[in-house]
Chains A and B, each alone.
Chain A
């Protein structure tokens, strides 16, 4: 069998011709990057990390190396300190060159075990940083939630100001029977950073996974989600927002696979793009043969706020089983004129009506995020982005 490195060496960089990369321009060749040496100095807490004070533990990962990790409730192990076969990647190395790079080069990360039956209310915080310009880092995080255990995890992605670099994290979430995991991802990388994150979820019988995603940062930021509802009666909810500005590319690829019987999933993603930014939502709901009683839905709504911005929305269904209920809804366009008119008819000038509309658009997502307590800083960051653009005349 080929080693991950051999696969990495044999694959080409994405050119945009591949189906997986057709809506985006990826321009961070490995030839321009160096491997990680000693991790750089951590950056100061930003608006999100600073707000997560009530927690069951935390970890700091810088440039792919675990710098510190501690928890009073969860069992933590560093990937660098355990046997190599536990480092096996859940993403096939030949998925693409970035996935192969992760499999070949990931050298550290974190295993988080939630013991069976444990119920941990407070979230565990992972501050995932990349700080050294010109390096590629490959942090690996694996969360295993034991039988009937409950936990929540927040990952905050950050990078040093102005640092052009590449971060290729892999995050694996495994839920045993009856487990319940709430997972919130706050991607607030600097606009010079590139990231390609693979998130893989395996849901056991009667388990429940709730995923929240907030995507604000990165020059190029892809989140590639593979959600396997393998256990009978398992369910998943994925709720997220993204907001692109400047020349950002925010790229979401979701594959929700229903394999067990009577599984359910809901994907609800809303985004806005302004300036020359680009967003992509590619969501495939696949219902495997034998997955009777599946109930699944995906919704993707996009606001295009500037003429030069572009949102791509590609929802898909692949149904290989009868007796299922599924559907999708997708929209791309400017803010709804009818809603604006209604708000203005009460006396709000157009810019104020627009601000209220944008706030409401994202509030619907923020209200549904799986972990509470972060609503205000998230709403503030999102709103500030729009108000700044409006103040500078970049949007209507």
Chain B
């Protein structure tokens, strides 16, 4: 059986800078994986590259979605093949109603109109999105509501791979728990989930099958729950030291890095 997602030797970046330096990761169907990494490690770039953002260039490597190569395909085709990203900052689209948007998309994914309507109603009820269906996409929604809307859309469209970019950022503790529960709720044998997170806070409320640590554009370590515990205790520095990785020089660091070395907020 194919993996939901198999990324091999991925080298990519923006035209002026290579950011991903030979990244490998495998996500089987039915599993939830988390990638953790400090600021500047390339997590957001990985999302953009997997989704097919044309601002990023891929110079080597392969991205297989259920055995199908995604590199070179436009963003909308990747989505229809079954890779959906939930955005860190979902875009507000005034005037476009959520119901109409998801309906059009569902039909583009090959659902019949009846099936699309039925799924929209059912999943909206399940994820508490009923009252947002006839409002503009993401407009005037709180951070938590926007993230819930992203998960609702995925639940309707049932991708093979759900890519969750910083699904927990900007949320208060209750919203983080709700989003974590929604991600677990969405778990299915037909889908692999890759969540990218800055803090391991959300992992307290869910049980990822595997945790990957990303530093300098590569996955440097993978493991189970204990890896998250190590990060909680010693930060990314502990992982670097254990693996003998040379840290970035201070001159290259941005001020924000000093505040994010410890992945846990307390």
Which chain A residues have a beta carbon within 8 Å of chain B's beta carbons?
338-339, 341-350, 352-353, 356-357, 359-364, 367
- In this complex, the member of A341, A347, A356, A359 whose beta carbon has the largest number of chain B beta carbons within 10 angstroms is A347
B residues in contact with A356, CB < 8 Å: 96, 100-101, 104
* Bound CA span A364–B97, Å: 10
Q: A347-B105, A348-B104, A356-B104 are contacts. A361–B95 as well, Cβ < 8 Å?
A: yes
Q: Pick out which of these stretches binds chain A: B61-69, B85-93, B200-208, B223-231.
A: B85-93
- In this complex, the member of A342, A346, A359, A361 whose beta carbon has the largest number of chain B beta carbons within 10 angstroms is A346
From the candidates A347, A359, A360, name the one contacting B108 in the complex (CB within 8 A): A347
- The A-contacting residues of B in range 88-125, CB under 8 angstroms, are 90-91, 93-97, 100-102, 104-105, 108-109
Q: A339-B91, A341-B75, A359-B95 are contacts. A347–B109 as well, Cβ < 8 Å?
A: yes
* Bound CA span A359–B94, Å: 10
A71 to chain B, nearest CB (A): 35
A339–B93 touching, CB < 8 Å: yes
The 6 closest A-B pairs by CB, nearest first: A360-B95, A360-B96, A347-B79, A364-B95, A342-B91, A363-B95
- The A-contacting residues of B in range 29-87, CB under 8 angstroms, are 51, 53, 74-76, 79-80, 84-85, 87
A360–B136 touching, CB < 8 Å: yes
B76–A347 touching, CB < 8 Å: yes
A residues in contact with B105, CB < 8 Å: 346-348
From the candidates B80, B85, B97, B101, name the one contacting A343 in the complex (CB within 8 A): B101
Q: List 10 A-B contacts (CB under 8 A).
A: A343-B96, A344-B79, A345-B76, A346-B76, A346-B105, A347-B105, A348-B76, A348-B104, A348-B108, A359-B96
From the candidates B75, B102, B104, name the one contacting A345 in the complex (CB within 8 A): B75
B95–A352 touching, CB < 8 Å: no
A342–B95 touching, CB < 8 Å: no
A residues in contact with B102, CB < 8 Å: 346
Closest to B91 in A: A342
From the candidates A343, A350, A352, name the one contacting B93 in the complex (CB within 8 A): A343
Q: Mark B157-192, 1 if CB is under 8 A from A, else 0.
A: 100000000000000000000000000000000000
In the assembled complex, B153 has its CB within 8 A of some CB on chain A: yes
A residues in contact with B87, CB < 8 Å: 342, 345
A375 to chain B, nearest CB (A): 12
A residues in contact with B109, CB < 8 Å: 347
A residues in contact with B51, CB < 8 Å: 345
B residues in contact with A367, CB < 8 Å: 95
* Bound CA span A219–B90, Å: 41
A301 to chain B, nearest CB (A): 10
A residues in contact with B93, CB < 8 Å: 339, 342-343, 357, 360
A366 to chain B, nearest CB (A): 9
Closest to B90 in A: A342
B residues in contact with A361, CB < 8 Å: 94-95
A residues in contact with B95, CB < 8 Å: 359-364, 367
Closest to B136 in A: A360
Which chain B residues have a beta carbon within 8 Å of chain A's beta carbons?
51, 53, 74-76, 79-80, 84-85, 87, 90-91, 93-97, 100-102, 104-105, 108-109, 136-137, 153, 157
B210 to chain A, nearest CB (A): 25
Closest to A344 in B: B76
From the candidates B75, B79, B108, name the one contacting A352 in the complex (CB within 8 A): B108
* Bound CA span A98–B262, Å: 72
A346-B76, A356-B100 given; 17 more Cβ-contact pairs under 8 Å: A339-B91, A341-B53, A342-B90, A343-B93, A343-B96, A343-B101, A346-B84, A347-B79, A347-B80, A347-B105, A347-B109, A356-B101, A356-B104, A357-B93, A359-B95, A360-B93, A363-B97
B96–A346 touching, CB < 8 Å: no
Closest to A365 in B: B95
From the candidates A338, A353, A357, name the one contacting B76 in the complex (CB within 8 A): A353
B174 to chain A, nearest CB (A): 26
A residues in contact with B84, CB < 8 Å: 345-347
A360–B94 touching, CB < 8 Å: yes
* Bound CA span A341–B51, Å: 11
B111 to chain A, nearest CB (A): 11
Q: A345-B51, A345-B85, A359-B96 are contacts. A338–B108 as well, Cβ < 8 Å?
A: no
Closest to B51 in A: A345
* Bound CA span A303–B51, Å: 27
* Bound CA span A348–B96, Å: 14
B166 to chain A, nearest CB (A): 15
A residues in contact with B79, CB < 8 Å: 344-347
B153–A338 touching, CB < 8 Å: no
A387 to chain B, nearest CB (A): 14
B residues in contact with A352, CB < 8 Å: 104, 108
Closest to B79 in A: A347
A136 to chain B, nearest CB (A): 38
B residues in contact with A362, CB < 8 Å: 95
* Bound CA span A179–B16, Å: 63
Closest to A363 in B: B95
A357–B96 touching, CB < 8 Å: yes
B residues in contact with A349, CB < 8 Å: 76, 108
* Bound CA span A59–B84, Å: 55
A residues in contact with B96, CB < 8 Å: 343, 356-357, 359-360, 363
A residues in contact with B75, CB < 8 Å: 341, 344-345
* Bound CA span A361–B109, Å: 24
Closest to A338 in B: B91
A334 to chain B, nearest CB (A): 15
A264 to chain B, nearest CB (A): 22
* Bound CA span A19–B194, Å: 60
* Bound CA span A364–B94, Å: 7
